Amino acid sequence: MLLSDLVTPDRIACAVNAQSKKRALEQISEIISKSEDTISSNDVFESLLARERLGGTGVGYGVAIPHGRLKSSDHTVGAFIKLQNGVDYDAADRQPVDLLFALLVPENSTEEHLEILATLAKLFSDESFRTQLRDADNIDKIHQLLLEWEASQ
């Protein structure tokens, strides 16, 4: 699955004010539910929180990839938010997280889920790309950066 299929401009937010990991997850849950009529923000939040309880999804360098499974969806959905300020996310490198890419997959999806996580890990391991995301000041620029990265692969 392509990033361009996962994240549309209506599932991107810039300069989000969240003071905690929990609030960041609530914000990204709301963004997803607004764009998906059949998915409630509470279902998204509970799925992401359940996964966080198993082990943190802060991957380092100020990035987190919260992910979970949804019974109420038959397709994969992604969302991206850039926080105004980094929050404590229990990341392995102990750095505050300001870039979050959430991924929600249908309950019985496995291979696709792992493939997308691998793509996201590759995407966010690129220091130049992370810098460009942090410098982007609007949704359209962030979306454009995601599309350009995808086209370069």
Distant-in-sequence, close-in-space partners of 70: CB < 8 Å, separation ≥ 6: 39, 43, 44, 47, 77, 104, 105, 106, 107
Q: How far apart are CA 9 and CA 118, in angstroms?
A: 22
User: Is 67 a catalytic site residue?
Assistant: yes
Q: Which residue has the tokens 């609030």?
A: 23
Residue 120: count of CB within 10 angstroms of its CB: 20
Query: By the 8 A CB rule, do 65 and 103 touch?
Result: yes
Catalytic residue among 67, 75, 113, 143: 67
Active-site residues, by number, are: 67
